[in-house]
Amino acid sequence: MKYLPQNRLLGMVIASVFIGIGAGIVILASLGLIFSPKILGQGSGLLPQDVDPQLGKIAPNFNLDDLDGKEIQLLNDSQRPTLINFWATWCPPCVAEMATIQQYYVESGRSFRVLAVNADEPPEDVQRFANEHGLSFDILLDPGGHVQELYRLRGYPTSFILDSDGVVMREHVGLLTESKLRNYLSEVGVAQ
């Protein structure tokens, strides 16, 4: 009988540890720090903390829905250079560069992919913006901003230029001018 209180105390300590670990996992998951089902295009949803875009390396993969609800994967079999553009409707430089991106996208015969990742705004606002500006490339929704965190954004707009193998060749923070866009894309084989 003497040992019963010690066993009970040990049981309570062990139970408390497991409850604490469970609560910690729930809190981290709710903050999007350890689970994000669409990041990396994998069912497990685990987000490696050491993955970020690096020049000369394969871009971190992701899946996001477009405005029609179709899931788009960054790294697929398209074998085309890709421009990933992180933007927002409330960002004046983002608005200014959209016309340039759209024009060059059409002029090049759609020889590269544009994945315009929105800054977690309501889909109806994003759809209205796309319609008003006549955008014909893929506009992606990033609920919770998980892909923006994955790409370690420092500001809007930010663009990444990937070659046809998905390797990050350029990162550009700020307004993407027509000459910069043409130069970056020519470096990955898009004809001017």
User: Which CATH number goes with the domain that contains 145?
Assistant: 3.40.30.10
158 lies in a domain? yes
- Distance CA(62)–CA(158), nearest Å, equals 17
Number of folded domains that form the chain: 1
Residue-range definition of the domain harbouring residue 94? 63-187
Q: Residue 99 domain-assigned?
A: yes
pLDDT at res. 1: 47
Compute the average pLDDT of residues 105-118. Answer: 94
85 neighbors 101 (Cβ within 8 angstroms) = yes
Residue 136 has pLDDT above 90, yes or no: yes
pLDDT bin (cut points 50, 70, 90) of residue 76 is confident
Sign for the pseudo-dihedral over CA of 154, 185, 94, 59: negative
Both tokens of 137, joined, read: 């490339």
Give domain status of residue 141, yes or no: yes
- pTM score of the predicted model: 0.74
Mean pLDDT value of segment 78-99: 94
pLDDT at 17 over 70: no
Residue 23 has pLDDT above 60, yes or no: no
Region 82-96: what's the mean pLDDT? Answer: 96
Report if residue 148 sits inside a domain. Answer: yes
Asked if residue 133 is part of any domain, the answer here is yes
Q: What is the mean pLDDT of residues 48-63?
A: 79
Three-state secondary-structure class, residue 46: strand
In a domain, 30, yes or no: no
Residue 89 lies in a domain: yes
Residue 168 lies in a domain: yes
Question: Would you say residue 89 has pLDDT above 60?
Answer: yes
Q: How confident is the model at residue 12 (pLDDT cuts 50, 70, 90)?
A: low
**Is residue 33 scored above 50 in pLDDT?**
no
> Which tokens is 112 given?
């590269």
